Amino acid sequence: MSARNIIIDTDPGQDDAVAILLALASPEVNVLGITAVAGNVPLALTQKNARIVCELAGKPETLVFAGCDAPMSRPLVTAEHVHGKTGLDGPQLADPTMPLQEQHAVDWIIETLRAAPERSVTLCPIGPLTNIATALTRAPEIKNAIEEIVLMGGGYFEGGNITPAAEFNIYVDPAAADIVFTAGVPLTVMPLDVTHKALTTRPRVEAFRNMGTEVGRMTAEWTDFFERFDKEKYGSEGAPLHDPTVIAYLIKPDLFNGRHINVEIETQSDLTLGMTVADWWRVSGREANCTFMGDIDADGFFALLTERLARLG
Ligand SMILES: [Ca+2]
């Protein structure tokens, strides 16, 4: 089986960092490039953080591009209260030495997809959907080259994490999310309903630390930092590790269970802006536009993560 070509669109973020590490450690996926977007922290930090993670993985040859620095139609909302001032708070981090590519991420996505064979590239957005929606709007023909979009975003039975109704990635740029969800491209969604079942319990974090590698130590320190906020918030036994679920799905889809349903994005209401209105019970009669995941084999997911991250230095 040949490796699946992917583009990771990201706003690192400790959990983004773990997702990038998982991808760079896994032969089932071929990372064509990483595109940074403003989200958890501003763009200047997310593009830098993406390079820090590539260097940590021992892959400084990875192409990293900076994309949109603000959502399509509203001011940027960030999440330093979760991720810390740098976005990767926790361990001490040196500035990266690998270069940032000069081309704008959206131009590179368009150019890459225009040159790619039909249905040959999978997009993995794990931040606000601004870059992806801007590319789809400017060059709708690129849809033909997309095999699938697998994204982390939204929530239904679990509600929201930035407002009672909305998950952060969708809330930051609901207009962009609406464009992606109505693009008519095969779409798989990892909502909070899944990620809130992927908790960094003590034994799981210690398994990272016990790898005895730099990657293991950093991952443990990132999840420790991330956890302080979430434990207080949810009273749970650990923090949800959101973004790596997207990459895990590409490697081991059997870890997940969901439904092919209609999901619409609320773009108007002040109260529920950014809500993913998921027709889980299929009561609307609206046509299905995505596979909305609902469950995860969390032990299998963490076993995969630990096994793969241990392959990196
Ligand atoms: Ca993210």
Mean pLDDT of the chain: 96
pLDDT at 231 over 80: no
The arithmetic mean of pLDDT across residues 147-155, rounded, is 98
Asked whether 17 and 88 are in contact (CB, 8 A), the reply is: yes
pLDDT at 233 over 80: no
The ranges assigned to domains in the chain are 4-310
4-310 is classed in which CATH architecture? Alpha-Beta Complex (3.90)
CA dihedral defined by 250, 254, 256, 257, rounded to 10 degrees?
Answer: 130
Q: How far is the CA of 12 from the centre of ligand 1 (A)?
A: 6
Q: How far is the CA of 134 from the centre of ligand 1 (A)?
A: 18
Q: How far is the CA of 36 from the centre of ligand 1 (A)?
A: 10
The arithmetic mean of pLDDT across residues 130-152, rounded, is 98
Sheet of 64-66, strand order: 64-66, 29-36, 4-10, 121-125, 146-152, 187-190, 290-296, 256-261
Band of residue 284 on the pLDDT scale cut at 50, 70, 90 = very high
Q: How far is the CA of 46 from the centre of ligand 1 (A)?
A: 10
Angle, helices 14-24 vs 244-251, to 10°: value is: 20
Q: How far is the CA of 151 from the centre of ligand 1 (A)?
A: 10
Band of residue 66 on the pLDDT scale cut at 50, 70, 90 = very high
Active-site annotation holder among 83, 104, 196, 242: 242
Q: How far is the CA of 132 from the centre of ligand 1 (A)?
A: 14
Tokens linked to 295: 């469950």
Q: What is the pLDDT of residue 1?
A: 67
pLDDT tens for 79-91 read 998 889 999 999 9
Q: Give the Cα separation of 243 and 247 in Å (integer).
A: 8
CA distances from 6 to 70, 87, 124 (A): 24, 23, 7
Q: Is 242 among the catalytic positions?
A: yes
The arithmetic mean of pLDDT across residues 222-231, rounded, is 81
Higher pLDDT, 262 or 73: 262
